[in-house]
Amino acid sequence: MKRLLKPFCLSLLGLTLTWAQPSPAQSFEGLDISQPKKKKKSSRKPRGKKPGATQAPASDESDSDDAADSSDSSAATGAPAAPTAPSVEGTPAQPPSMGLDLTADTPPPTQTAPTMSFDAVDVSGKSGDRQRLDVAVSLFKNDEYDKAAMSAFEMIQDPKLAGLHMEARYVLAKALYRMGLYHSSLGEFSKILAVGPETKFFRTSLEWLFFISRKTKNEAVILDELARHANQEFPERFRSEFHYLLARYHFVRGKALDEVGRKEDADKSFNEVKRLVLLIPKTDIFYPRAKYLEGLAFFRFGNKAATASARRTDINTLGAIDSMKEVVRVTRNTAGLDAEQVSANQKLRELAFMQLGRTHYGMQQNRYALFYFNKVERGTTQWLESMFESSWANYRVGQYEQALGNLITLSSPFFREEYFPEAMILKAVIYYENCRYRESSLILQDFERTYLPVHDQLELITKKQLDASESYGVLADVQKKNKEGQEKGETDVILERILRLALTDQDLKKTNDSILELEGEMDLFSEKGDTFRYSELTKQLLEGLKVQRTALIEKAGIMAKGKLETELSALKQLLANGLRIKFETVTKEKEFLEEQLKAGGQVSIVKKYRYSVAVADDQLYWPYEGEYWRDELGTYQYTMTKGCVQRDTANRNIQQASGSN
């Protein structure tokens, strides 16, 4: 085997094993490419913006609701289109969730808050009730957000001040946001939005949803709330972001409907994704993200309708390819983007290359698949996955040496935490194809020794009939062990990889992030002053966060259980495939021994291959002696020194392979 300081160009040859393909579930990976939110301030800019101009997400410091910071100011009350679900003032909205049910309400408990007093402000000429609201507004403007929140909360608890409850709740919601209690703030803004567009704070509360989405780890926490008000007219500076987030909502909803067998409803959701993407200008920063969703929606329709004969010409498959190519084109230019946006676009670009590779692989166009898989840059988040999937494409075209070289990288100690069980199956198949039956059998024995115990543990977990919270508890325990750094045996390490693999599902990972974020927000209350910490407001907010956390755990548990069952099913299939290869290997060995006996030991099925260590001028041959160097990962190319007698070299001629592509 040789290592090259620079990867080889790959020759493309043809051989197909129909059951050996990357998992179809990978087709929808990478839905969310959002970056961790950073707190930052930006100077106020004029409201007006030319249609089609490139828009950057507005900072929460430059929001359009400053006019409502004073109690006697009037917020914009433009007549929105067709209210979706009007309700009476004061009706509590459900806690934000990521589920499909947009109607169920879960009101937080209400209790009487203790009476508090604040320093007097000049409120001459105003009524006593209005004076109390001005106190809360003044405290907010003086950055005393905890006092402003408690003052506004006292007013909400006083039934005699019903006429000012909406303005007081608006002050409360903004104060909680400034305190970093984003989920609690979202709950209060949701109550304002539940009243309907007749309140003067409806439009500005909608805008605050976008500010909250940029502060939380999972922007999906606002998707349900936005979907409830999809018929409203959003300010122009938020319109593209709204269309993108709404497209994400329908994409996630469509996936969920597919999983429960409601295909017609899922079709409507995915068609809505494609419609919303058309509303986003090409110059907008949300355009590449939206096009990626569009490509996945097209791929879903193409994957659903395609057959082996029609796959090449299916219009949806071609649409998926065009969308992903557009993502690659528009993310190439980084002019005018900050570091965070450049990083987000780079991740999106990698995901587009991966999806292009998978699409062509599914169409049996292995040369194109290899081209796009090799576009993923070394060391990026998708790099290992691209190497693994390109190994299958290399195998299909008979490029065995490159496939085995990729598998050496995947098995290096640097990636001991990664989970690629199928790599061992592919390795066994390649040795079988080269008449190396003994080596193939040994690899399969190693596979069974490693993964049968994992299969048994997974089966034990899935058969326990755990409820949703207990299923999530399995993942929570793994995260706790990782944090504490406990010692684990080999089987525990591999099982842990599978459990962490569940978190590679973007929906589950983001839901888990939201749970951890909620728990972090609950801990924040203990860092506040005693007056706020032990107030009735804090008690009610904590109760509301617990309700949200319970709902998210229920959702995460269902997804975790489904993911573990999927991994168990995949592992069963791999073990079954291993048994099939083992059977074929034993049969071939038996036939060879019988022929040898008949010929008096003169028959041979293996001979030495012709091979060369010559490399290009810009490459260097370096023999592999068992050690791994980080800068050499990804450059290995295995040398098949012997194999089937009917072949002159390990890799078949490129002209022969071209016919199968």
User: How far apart (Å, rounded) are the C-alpha atoms in residues 398 and 652?
Assistant: 6
Region 5-30: mean pLDDT is: 38
Which single residue is written with the structure tokens 């950073």?
38
Instruction: Label residue 325 exposed, middle or buried (CB < 10 Å: 0-12, 13-18, 19+).
Output: middle
Give residue-wise pLDDT tens across range 296-326.
999 888 765 544 444 445 788 888 899 999 9
Cβ 205 vs Cβ 236: under 8 Å: no
480-510 as b/e: b if 16+ CB within 10 A: eeeeeeeeeeeebebbbbbbbebbebbbbbb
Which single residue is written with the structure tokens 């109690």?
71
How much is the pLDDT for 373?
93
Give residue-wise pLDDT tens across range 504-529.
777 788 888 888 888 889 998 888 88
User: How far apart (Å, rounded) are the C-alpha atoms in residues 353 and 181?
Assistant: 38
How much is the pLDDT for 204?
87
Cα torsion at 396, 398, 400, 402 (round to 10°)? -80
Q: Which residue has the higher pLDDT, 47 or 151?
A: 151
Candidate from 37-41, 98-102, 453-457 with smallest mean pLDDT = 98-102
Q: CA separation (Å) from 273 to 53, 177, 366, 486?
A: 23, 30, 29, 44
Residue 106 pLDDT grade (very low, low, confident, very high; cuts 50, 70, 90): very low
Task: Cite the beta strand spans of 392-545 per DSSP E.
Answer: none
User: How far apart (Å, rounded) are the C-alpha atoms in residues 209 and 221?
Assistant: 9
Nearest to 425 by CA among 26, 22, 139, 88: 22
Count Cβ atoms below 10 Å from residue 454 Cβ, excluding itself: 22
Write the CB contacts of 514 (distance below 8 Å, at least 6 apart in sequence). Answer: 98, 216, 217, 218, 220, 221, 552
User: How far apart (Å, rounded) are the C-alpha atoms in residues 287 and 284?
Assistant: 5
How much is the pLDDT for 203?
85
Q: Reply yes or no on whether the pLDDT at 108 is more than 80.
A: no
Region 425-452: mean pLDDT is: 89
Region 438-459: mean pLDDT is: 88
Which single residue is written with the structure tokens 């407001």?
537
Query: Which residue blocks in 331-416 are alpha helix, DSSP H?
Result: 339-362, 366-373, 383-396, 400-410
Contacts 24+ apart (CB under 8 A), 444-449: 444/578, 444/581, 444/582, 444/585, 447/421, 447/574, 447/578, 448/575, 448/578
Q: Reply yes or no on whether the pLDDT at 285 is more than 70.
A: yes
Count Cβ atoms below 10 Å from residue 26 Cβ, excluding itself: 15
Cβ 549 vs Cβ 515: under 8 Å: yes
User: How far apart (Å, rounded) are the C-alpha atoms in residues 387 and 374?
Assistant: 8
User: What are the backbone dihedrals phi and psi of residue 635, each rounded to the nearest 5 degrees, phi first?
Assistant: -110, 0
Q: Which helix (H) or strand (E) holds 266?
A: helix 263-277
Residue 489 pLDDT grade (very low, low, confident, very high; cuts 50, 70, 90): low
Which single residue is written with the structure tokens 């995901």?
351
User: How far apart (Å, rounded) are the C-alpha atoms in residues 48 and 449?
Assistant: 66
Q: Report the first-to-last Cα separation within the chain, whole angstroms.
A: 28
Residue 126 pLDDT grade (very low, low, confident, very high; cuts 50, 70, 90): low
Provide the percentage of residues in the chain whose pLDDT is more than 70: 72
In the chain, the largest separation of any two C-alpha atoms, in whole Å, equals: 117
The type of residue at 501 is L
Give residue-wise pLDDT tens across range 364-403.
899 999 999 999 988 888 888 999 999 999 999 888 888 9
The type of residue at 509 is K
Integer-rounded Cα Rg, in Å, for the chain is 30
Candidate from 17-21, 280-284, 583-587 with smallest mean pLDDT = 17-21
User: How far apart (Å, rounded) are the C-alpha atoms in residues 233 and 67?
Assistant: 20
How much is the pLDDT for 645?
74
Q: Reply yes or no on whether the pLDDT at 333 is more than 90.
A: no
- Average pLDDT over the chain reads 75
* Per-range mean pLDDT, top range of 92-106, 239-253, 583-597, 631-645: 239-253
> 0.85 cut: is pTM over it?
no
Q: Reply yes or no on whether the pLDDT at 653 is more than 70.
A: no
Nearest to 355 by CA among 34, 15, 24: 24
In three state form, how does the secondary structure of 316-355 look? HHHHHHHHHHHHHHHCCCCCCCCHHHHHHHHHHHHHHHHH
